[in-house]
């Protein structure tokens, strides 16, 4: 603090002293006020705030509201315990799932697109350092979440998210990209099979045979025809 004050300009020093004096005056006045005076002051402040808001444009109100909410949330999160944070994350996830369950397909698509656009804009503006920090933070969060999951939940979530990502990627790919992907997959499969032990190869063939049999048993006569 002393170093900062030593580097202050005379104007900054004067401004700081005036601000301190004013703060002390307000503090002293509030310490001496009665319950009635305090109530009147709160009412007066609320009325002033309402008058100011009545003169604001909708855009300014929305921007101010979002900013102040963000600041309050940030302060609250800085003070919360690990348990509180976990409970908040669980509560947020449940609310999000409820909201998504009630969405129409169109609203769901719009929501995903707007989230993707927001993320893209945010990432385009971030520096290399911020990006690195974000990835580290995401990795740490993911590890924390996975450490609390059961092996079954981890496996199911991983398979489901991979399937969704693959489905989205395939929906956008061209015929040429699809052909190249299939060729690449076939090569990988051939490489894997070339490295298999005879036992692993036999197990794989048996598993494939069982899966095919189960799939055929589930077919209806109409589908088979």
Those residues whose C-beta lies under 8 Å from the C-beta of residue 131, and which sit 6 or more positions away, are 123
Angle at 185 between CA 184 and CA 189, to 5 degrees: 120
What is the pLDDT at residue 2? 67
pTM over 0.85: no
State what percent of residues in the chain have pLDDT above 90.
0
Pair 5, 12: CB distance under 8 Å: no
Q: Which residues of 126-163 are buried (b: 16+ CB within 10 A; e: fewer)?
A: eeeeeeeeeeeeeeeeeeeeeeeeeeeeeeeeeeeeee
The CA-atom distances, in angstroms, between 92 and each of 96, 124, 164 are: 6, 27, 22
What is the pLDDT at residue 220? 62
**pLDDT single digits (tens) 93-109:** 888 888 888 888 888 88
What is the pLDDT at residue 139? 87
**pLDDT single digits (tens) 140-182:** 888 887 777 777 777 777 787 788 888 888 888 888 888 888 8
Q: Six-digit token pair at 151?
A: 């092996």
pLDDT bin (cut points 50, 70, 90) of residue 224 is low
**pLDDT single digits (tens) 9-48:** 878 778 888 888 888 888 887 788 788 888 888 888 888 8
Query: Mean of the pLDDT values across residues 48-61?
Result: 80
Q: Give me the count of residues in the chain.
A: 225
What is the pLDDT at residue 204? 86
**Where would I find the H helices in 1-34?**
2-6, 10-32
Query: Mean of the pLDDT values across residues 125-140?
Result: 84
Q: How many CA atoms lie within 13 A of 104 on its CB side?
A: 3
Query: Mean of the pLDDT values across residues 76-104?
Result: 82
Q: Share the mean pLDDT of the chain.
A: 82
């Amino acid at each position: 603090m002393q170093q900062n004050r030593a580097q202050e300009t005379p104007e900054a020093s004067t401004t700081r002293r005036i601000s301190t004096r004013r703060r002390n005056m307000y503090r002293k006045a509030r310490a001496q006020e009665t319950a009635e005076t305090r109530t009147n002051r709160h009412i007066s402040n609320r009325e002033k705030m309402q008058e100011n808001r009545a003169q604001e444009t909708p855009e300014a109100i929305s921007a101010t509201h979002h900013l102040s909410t963000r600041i309050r949330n940030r302060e609250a999160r800085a003070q919360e315990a690990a348990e509180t944070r976990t409970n908040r994350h669980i509560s947020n996830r449940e609310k999000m799932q409820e909201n998504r369950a009630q969405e129409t397909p169109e609203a769901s698509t719009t929501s995903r697109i707007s989230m993707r656009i927001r993320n893209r804009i945010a990432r385009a503006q971030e520096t290399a350092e911020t990006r690195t920090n974000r990835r580290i933070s995401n990795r740490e969060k993911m590890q924390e979440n996975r450490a609390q999951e059961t092996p079954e939940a981890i496996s199911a979530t991983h398979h489901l998210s991979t399937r969704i990502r693959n489905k989205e990627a395939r929906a956008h790919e061209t015929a040429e990209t699809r052909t190249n992907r299939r060729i690449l997959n076939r090569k990988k499969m051939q490489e894997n099979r070339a490295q298999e032990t005879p036992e692993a190869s036999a197990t794989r063939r048996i598993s494939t045979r069982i899966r095919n049999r189960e799939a055929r048993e589930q077919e209806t006569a109409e589908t088979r025809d």
